[in-house]
Amino acid sequence: MIGPMRPVIVAGNWKMHTTPADAGELAATIARRTNERDVVRILCPPFVCLAAVRDALAAEPAGGDVAVGAQTVHHELAGAYTGEVSAAMLRGLATWTIVGHSERRRDAGETDALVNQKIRRALEVGLKVILCVGEQLEDREAGRAEAVVSSQVAGSLRELQGGASSLTIAYEPVWAIGTGRTARGVDAAEMASVIRRTLGELGFAAGGEDVSVLYGGSVTGATIDEFMNEPAIDGALVGGASLKPDEMAAIVARAGLTARARAGATTD
């Protein structure tokens, strides 16, 4: 089922790449190369580059529809947390934030309970959220993939049904990120169904059908077509390819075809 109100989204996660000196130019170039009004475009640079990207997009005629996102956010609004960045600090710099990325879960030990707190803080200040969920290789090989992802969704979104309009979920199979292994479109579609079924069990309106689900597993211009062909997938969370304007142009162009096809289907 394709929800008529589900936007098609392409978000670029730059991770620990770029500096304030070059991030703005890269953002402006991507904005010019991906001028697809039917696709929600988001760029998520490092914290130190947020202002540079915001200002570059504001100065670029094609940048007005490109949103800025943070790569994570702290679970408290203020306090003695050296080196951390709160949701309140992001106001004016970003309108989105990624939460629960697999690298944060792995390297910073983020649990579902902590991710839940982060989402709460983000929603409190009006940020939109991309929640990341996904299984490890050993989970998939043991037949636990669906249970793991469902548990992550449930734990991360406990008692947060009211934030559905500001929520997007990215399914990122950890075993397909930077490993040379690739997920198939059908894999992503099956997990999108698990995610929406879990949202329905949590009490989200429309059984979760109005929440966009993205695929995030080493997406490139060469692989995006398989995922955008799946009605359950509403775009991509792009990693390394989001640093390459040509790749982003190809990914967003393909997403635009899907967005227009779906819009036409809902009006026929």
Active site residues: 101, 172
Burial class (CB in 10 A: 0-12, 13-18, 19+), 61: exposed
**Dihedral sign from CA coordinates of 23, 219, 149, 261:** positive
Burial class (CB in 10 A: 0-12, 13-18, 19+), 143: exposed
Burial class (CB in 10 A: 0-12, 13-18, 19+), 42: buried
Q: Is 268 helix (H, G, I), strand (E, B) or coil?
A: coil
The first and second tokens of residue 45, run together, are: 């640079």
Distance of alpha carbon 184 from alpha carbon 227, whole angstroms: 8
Residues with Cβ within 8 Å of 203's Cβ and at least 6 positions away in sequence, in order, are 161
